[in-house]
Amino acid sequence: MCNKKYTFEDGLILSQKELSKDIFEMWIETEAAKSAIPGQFISLYTDDKSKLLPRPISICEIAEDKKSLRIVYRIAGKGTKIFSEKLAGEEIKIVGPLGNGYDLLDEKAILIAGGIGIPPMLELAKKLKEKNVDINVVLGYRDAALFLKDDFEKYAKVYIATEDGSVGTKGNVLDCIKENKISGKVIYSCGPTPMLRAVKEYALENDMEAYISLEERMACGIGACLGCVCKTTDIDDHSLVKNARVCTDGPVFDAREVDI
């Protein structure tokens, strides 16, 4: 589902909290919450004049009153470090909501997420539960720092895979699906590219639909610079070559339509 309405504004930080080492959550009061849907993202600007480009961060949750958004982010470099030092009551420049989002299908679904791809799946789980869709959630972590697990358990049965084997299945999300014989007709997924590649292959082998959210480095974030293209199986209307802009055509794609 595509939503082209976005606004630039000063959002108000309502709260900031460290969920686990270097993983933070921030609630922001923003107009973007009015029209946001699961799978979309916002771009946040730092106050540092040497960093003019905004940083894209997925929408993790939309408040019931549609006045604020929750984001969950990992400190990856200077920009996200600056965000983590901001306090409740301060303002933050944002643009959003950006990108498309997940279409909410009625079929039994498996939500598969890994690492910092876990946050955008939360609002999706909530919305699918509201539609009474049968869902199972599979989350892949490095270790026992299971950020957001309790939030997902409000909406679905949650299965865990950890790289170090400290909780759940030792291995990756697909090992967990096989070990627990989890089935469904459609997959929604977000996470590192090798994981999405494996999810796409699994979906094709098992004749399932799969919608995956890609992460590319972005510059403008609004479709103007072609800084975020990915390869597609079909020709794009905008550039007339086999590519798509992750920021506006995505970040969610039908797995069959992208070459990853």
Q: Which does 97 bind (CB under 5 to 8 A by kind): ligand FES, ligand FAD, none?
A: none
The interface mask with ligand FAD, positions 169-208, x = CB under 6 A, is ----------------------------------------
Going by C-alpha positions, the residue among 11, 47, 45, 46 that lies closest to residue 28 is 11
Select the span of 154-162, 200-208, 210-218, 235-243 touching ligand FAD (CB under 6 A): 210-218
Nearest to 254 by CA among 209, 199, 215: 209
SS3 248: coil
CB closer to ligand FAD, 11 vs 184: 11
Does residue 17 belong to the site contacting ligand FAD (CB under 6 A)?
no
Minimum Å distance from CB 247 to ligand FAD?
7
- Torsion sign (Cα): 14, 116, 55, 213: negative
| 93 makes contact with ligand FAD (CB under 6 A) | no
Please give the residues from 228 up to 247 whose contact with ligand FES meets the rule CB under 6 A: 228, 245, 247
* From candidates 224, 235, 238, 259, binder to ligand FES by CB under 6 A: 224
Residue of minimal CB distance from ligand FAD? 77
71 and 23 Cβ atoms separated by less than 8 Å: no
Q: List Cα–Cα distances, 245 to 51, 102, 113, 225, in angstroms.
A: 22, 16, 22, 9
Report the distance separating Cα 124 and Cα 38, nearest Å.
5
CA distance 129 to 123: 10
Under a CB-based contact definition with an 8 Å cutoff, are residues 120 and 191 in contact?
no
Residue 56 makes contact with ligand FAD by CB under 6 A: yes
User: Given the rule CB under 6 A, which residues bind ligand FAD?
Assistant: 41, 55-58, 73-74, 76-80, 116, 119, 215-218, 251
User: Given the rule CB under 6 A, which residues bind ligand FES?
Assistant: 218-221, 223-228, 245, 247
